[in-house]
Structure 1
Amino acid sequence: MSNSYARPILRTTDLSAGLRVVERLLAIADLRDLEVDFEVRVSSADVLAALLELIPHAWWCAEGDRDGSSDQGDDPAAHLPVRLRGWAMSPETVEPFIKAVGDSPATVRWDFMGWPEAPEVGLGAGGARGAFVTLCVNVRDLDLEEPAPDHTVFVHVKQVEAERAPWLAAQVGLGVIGDLVMAPY
């Protein structure tokens, strides 16, 4: 994984509206090698059980300064709250993941080959580095630090191609609604 820069383009209380915007963005992307990454802050044993059923080999670690992680072979239920991640998942797992997280803060990140050419802003087709879309569920930021009653869609771009973010937003009838930020992982 590589770092990218992300810019929010939609904030909504309607999760299905966020997913529709993601679908429209993916419709213009080069979807070769499409995969999805998940991250969630889990406080509930029920949510943890549902997520481990969906992502049995998920990486996890205890939140804060506490010990406990999948790397050590610990039981995640004994270390709640935990941060859980799944990488390189199939797109078909998105809906079950969103259902499993419930009200937990989570991110779904679509990773693909590249963005299309953006001649209006002087950019050719973008490569895989920086070609992501993230849906933040029940949280406003990519680091899962600002729980919220709404959901945010971010487009990711290379820092040197920052002008691609507003161009992408315009392609789906939106505008940017925040600053360009460095995305985690």
Structure 2
Amino acid sequence: MSNSHAVPILRTADPSAALRAVDGLLGIADLRDFEVDYTAVISSPDALKALSEFLQYGTWYACDESGSPGPGDDPAEYLPIRWLALGDEPETVPGFLEALNGTPATVRWDFSGWPAAPEAGLGPGGARGAFVTLCVNVRDLELMEPADDCTVYVHVKQREAERAPWLAAQVGLRVIGEGVEAPY
């Protein structure tokens, strides 16, 4: 099984505009099995405190070669860390975005599938490859390229790449860059 093909459709310094685009995409998606996943690269004790208060669960690991943390280890001793929280409720997104305060992160909405795209010659798309990701304070899905803006990506199956421009058009946008293989 391969990863999804993620295609950028919006880059903006306005998080509200990014969330409106996401809402538009979710408005046409099959939202059965709907959940949100978070990833953040946390570099400071203040950011760790803010995000730990918001996300009181999840998995974290050191971003460098300092070793694998064990149960009960203090994440502050391993900064920078990558924090991953899976399967949250969609209503938690605004609080997560507020807690970031400059921390590079992604929010990924997972759901059951995309609608048929008859103009692109495609039937309904299944769950594999049906995601929307918002990158915040970072340009890429791997959280490596810092930015002062947000990027919205639509995920599709690579063999159905023509679905991405169709999805963008459904919310009044267009593809703005090359698609990449999503990290998970």
TM-score by length of 2: 0.96
Separation of aligned partners in 2, 1:80 and 1:180: 31
Secondary structure in structure 1 of the residue aligned to 2:146: coil
Superposed counterparts of 1:1-185, under 5 Å: 3-69=3-69, 71-185=70-184
TM superposition shift of 1:72: 4.1
Output one character per residue of 1:104-145: Cα deviation in whole Å (capped at 9) or x when no partner.
110000000000000001100101000000000011100001
Separation of aligned partners in 2, 1:86 and 1:146: 21
Secondary structure in structure 1 of the residue aligned to 2:94: helix
Q: Does the aligned pair in 2 maintain the 1:115–1:127 contact within 8 Å?
A: yes
Paired letter, 1:59: T
The structure 1 segments of at least 4 consecutive aligned residues displaced by more than 2 Å after TM superposition are none
Q: Could you tell me the percent identity over the aligned residues?
A: 64
| Structure 2: tracts of 5 or more residues without a match | none
Secondary structure in structure 2 of the residue aligned to 1:167: helix
| Structure 1: tracts of 5 or more residues without a match | none
Secondary structure in structure 2 of the residue aligned to 1:149: strand
Separation of aligned partners in 1, 2:157 and 2:58: 28
TM-score by length of 1: 0.96
Paired letter, 2:57: H
The range that moved more, 163-172 or 57-66, is: 57-66
Separation of aligned partners in 1, 2:116 and 2:42: 39
